[in-house]
């Protein structure tokens, strides 16, 4: 099975611009989560989508948004970029079985390295 893919791998933007990142999950995985990773804060959860619906959301401002398509592919958008948004953005997919006893093992993509100048 192909792993999680993310495009683009690297991106340079300037303050005030917006950016859209794309993620294709592992075939059959219906859950897609997005994380921001910085040296100071580590891996921080942004949001999770399951069957085109946002199911969980982290503590990030409304400038960060996402969506999921019917084929489970997901996009993340950041508007009005700030210098502090420079980070590695990781997408992860999960089978996300329902019910008690299920776990949320994440299968990560390689990430998109975003640099805001």
Q: Report the interface residues with other proteins, using CB under 8 A.
A: 4, 33, 35, 41-45, 48, 56, 58, 90, 92, 96, 98-111
Select 7 or 18, whichever has its Cβ closest to other proteins.
Answer: 7
């993310």: which residue's tokens? Answer: 6
Report strand pairing: 87-94 vs 31-38: antiparallel
Tokens representing 75 are 């996009």
Select 7 or 14, whichever has its Cβ closest to other proteins.
Answer: 7
User: What span, in angstroms and rounded, lies between the C-alpha atoms of 94 and 32?
Assistant: 7
Select 33 or 74, whichever has its Cβ closest to other proteins.
Answer: 33
């Amino acid at each position: 099975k192909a792993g999680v893919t993310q495009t683009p791998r690297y991106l340079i933007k300037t303050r005030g611009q917006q950016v859209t990142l794309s993620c294709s999950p592992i075939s059959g995985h219906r859950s897609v989560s997005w994380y921001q990773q910085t040296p100071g804060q580590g891996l921080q959860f942004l949001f999770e989508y399951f069957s085109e619906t946002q199911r969980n959301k982290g503590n990030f401002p409304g400038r960060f948004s996402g969506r999921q398509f019917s084929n489970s592919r997901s996009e993340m958008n950041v508007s009005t970029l700030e210098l502090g948004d420079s980070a590695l953005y990781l997408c992860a997919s999960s089978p996300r079985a329902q019910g008690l006893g299920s776990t949320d093992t994440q299968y990560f993509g390689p990430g998109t390295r975003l640099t805001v100048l």
